[in-house]
Amino acid sequence: MKIVVCVKQVPDSAATVTVENGQVVWGDAPLVINPWDEYAVEAALKLTEEHGGDVVALSMGGEDEKEAVKHALAMGSSEAILVSDPALKGIDAGGTAKVLAAAVQKIGDADMVIFGRQSIDSDSGLMASQVARILGWPSLTLVAAIDALNVDDKQTRVERNTEEGRQVIESRLPAVLSITKDFGEPRYPSFMGIRKASRAEVPVWSVAELGIAAPEAVISWPEVMNPPTREVTTEIISGGSPQEIAETLAEKIIAEKVL
Ligand SMILES: Cc1cc2nc3c(=O)[nH]c(=O)nc-3n(C[C@H](O)[C@H](O)[C@H](O)COP(=O)(O)OP(=O)(O)OC[C@H]3O[C@@H](n4cnc5c(N)ncnc54)[C@H](O)[C@@H]3O)c2cc1C
């Protein structure tokens, strides 16, 4: 089977992300693979280990933004592709979905496209459903487990995580999935994997090579703001015993009408 796994580069979650002059900035912090996408890569690798086949890591981003696909290669993906084009500057979520869907079609013969549940910078969580709509394939979001997969009959049964519990869904393939943490902890790249990834030449596809016109953004972010600052005071409660401290705490909570 062939699985395309979509990975995005985001500022390191340890970076201090802030807003300057209406723009998001994160200093010198490196761009890394979106943490949710490591789960997507893990899921794709597990499925191909069980059922055979290849994992192709796909990303859309700046020309030098190969860290995410290289991380996927180091984890064990067989191939990596970056879509990059100056015409994609300022692209919105709908446009990103058109580009990724066209790239999936150019890769060809995919049985599944797997996404992380959301990006940690823009956080829309829209990409899997939008790509599924463009491809005309089933959209299976927030998948926590795959209970059955029959590549020859092109059928799968998955469990979705919902607020109410687990939902079991049967679907035909090819399908587009987004993956939650429950699928299993992502593996660390092996030493051999890191060497392979560092030497790999990642093909860079332009929009013209995808056979589409550069999508026009219909949504723009004219300004981004820091959240309003909150006044917070901290008080450490001391006392002669845990009971005394708890009593003082309870009195203060009641006085503040928290309870
Ligand atoms: C500084 C900045 C400025 C922006 N300006 C605008 C703007 O003006 N207008 C606007 O509409 N949007 C803007 N965006 C949002 C940007 O276009 C989104 O990153 C993009 O639309 C994808 O949405 P998302 O990140 O919320 O993805 P989600 O839907 O949250 O991501 C889900 C999954 O989709 C996959 N995925 C997402 N993006 C990619 C990608 N590029 N390549 C491969 N896989 C991917 C990953 O598997 C990810 O886990 C801006 C973002 C930033 C950081």
HEC assignment per residue over the chain: CEEEEECCEEECCCCCCEEECCEEECCCCCEEECHHHHHHHHHHHHHHHHHCCEEEEEEECCCCCCHHHHHHHHHCCCEEEEECCHHHCCCCHHHHHHHHHHHHHHHCCCCEEEEECCCCCCCCCCHHHHHHHHHCCCEEEEEEEEEEEECCCCEEEEEEEECCEEEEEEEECCEEEEECHHHCCCCCCCHHHHHHHHHCCCCEECHHHHCCCCCCCCCCCCCCCCCCCCCCCCCCCCCCCHHHHHHHHHHHHHHCCCC
Model confidence over 127-158: pLDDT tens digits?
999 999 999 999 999 999 999 999 999 999 99
Amino acid code (one letter) for 149: L
Ligand 1 centroid vs 171 CA: distance in angstroms? 27
Residue 231 within a domain = no
Round to whole Å and give the CA distance between 189 and 248: 51
Residue 59 within a domain = yes
Query: Which pLDDT band holds residue 224 (cuts at 50, 70, 90)?
Result: confident
What's the rounded mean pLDDT across residues 114-121?
95
Say yes or no to pLDDT of 210 above 80.
yes
Residue 258 within a domain = no
Residue 253 within a domain = no
Residue 30 within a domain = yes
Q: Is the CB of residue 34 below 6 angstroms from any atom belonging to ligand 1?
A: yes
Residue 120 within a domain = yes
Residue 58 within a domain = yes
CA angle, 220 then 223 then 226, to 5°:
135
Q: Is the CB of residue 59 below 6 angstroms from any atom belonging to ligand 1?
A: yes
Say yes or no to pLDDT of 212 above 80.
yes
What's the rounded mean pLDDT across residues 228-251?
92
CATH (domain of 94):
3.40.50.620
Ligand 1 centroid vs 81 CA: distance in angstroms? 17
How many angstroms separate the Cα of 191 from the Cα of each of 71, 187, 198, 259? 12, 12, 11, 54
Q: Is the CB of residue 6 below 6 angstroms from any atom belonging to ligand 1?
A: yes
Say yes or no to pLDDT of 259 above 80.
no
Say yes or no to pLDDT of 208 above 90.
yes
Ligand 1 centroid vs 205 CA: distance in angstroms? 18
Q: Is the CB of residue 116 below 6 angstroms from any atom belonging to ligand 1?
A: yes
pLDDT at 200 (0 to 100): 95
The total number of structural domains in the chain stands at 1
Residue 130 within a domain = yes
| Greater pLDDT, 72 or 90 | 72
pTM of the complete model: 0.89
* Residue 114, domain extent: 2-210
